[in-house]
Amino acid sequence: MLDTTALRMVRTDFELFFERESWFRQHNLPYRRGYLFWGSPGNGKTATIRVMASHPRIKPYTLDVSDFENRSSELVQMFMKASVHTPALVILEDLDRAFPTEGKRTRERNVSFQTLLNCLDGVATQDGVVVVATANDPTCSIRRS
């Protein structure tokens, strides 16, 4: 299970996010939030996401970016749907599996890392979208050769 202090901090931050939209706007900040939960399998990452997804004010969206059948266009489409139905929660699990280090790639994925980055923080990224991602090893996806 995730550390109780970390869980409390995430819960407080997640709840306050919905109450502070005017604060974001007043300070000219994008009204978005992102979380990365990482750790060994079974530590509570997915359980925490399930609680977040069941929030009464939020509509959840998910896409398995590690599935070879999914394409970058589907990821873009999911983010577009989420931006229309805000507040929305975009769930991306096992990013380290979806974007392994170069040496561990066995086959090229149809969802590009660049598309993911553009969806997360590109010019078209819409307000009111919360992104939550998981990884067993959070450094695996960012180490590039």
Query: HEC string of 102-126?
Result: HHHCCCCCCCCHHHHHHHHHCCCCC
What's at 82, amino acid-wise? A
pLDDT averaged over every residue in the chain: 84
Residue closest to 33 by CA, chosen among 75, 87, 96? 87
Q: What percent of the chain has pLDDT over 70?
A: 86
Cβ(30)–Cβ(125) below 8 Å: yes
**pLDDT of the residue at 97:** 79
Binned at pLDDT 50, 70 and 90, residue 143 comes out as very low
Q: Quick: pLDDT tens for 68-125.
A: 777 888 899 999 999 999 999 999 988 887 776 655 555 556 778 888 888 888 766 6
Residue closest to 116 by CA, chosen among 83, 87, 141? 141
Please tell me whether residue 90 adopts helix, strand or coil conformation: strand
Rounded Cα gap, residues 15 and 23, in angstroms: 14
pLDDT of 145 over the 90 cut: no
Q: Looking at domain 4-135, what is its CATH homologous superfamily? A: P-loop containing nucleotide triphosphate hydrolases (3.40.50.300)
Rounded Cα gap, residues 95 and 139, in angstroms: 10
Query: pTM for this structure?
Result: 0.84
Average pLDDT on 56-66 reads: 89
Residue closest to 48 by CA, chosen among 16, 86, 2? 2
Cβ(67)–Cβ(97) below 8 Å: no
Cβ(45)–Cβ(37) below 8 Å: yes
**pLDDT of the residue at 69:** 74
What's at 24, amino acid-wise? F
Please tell me whether residue 106 adopts helix, strand or coil conformation: coil
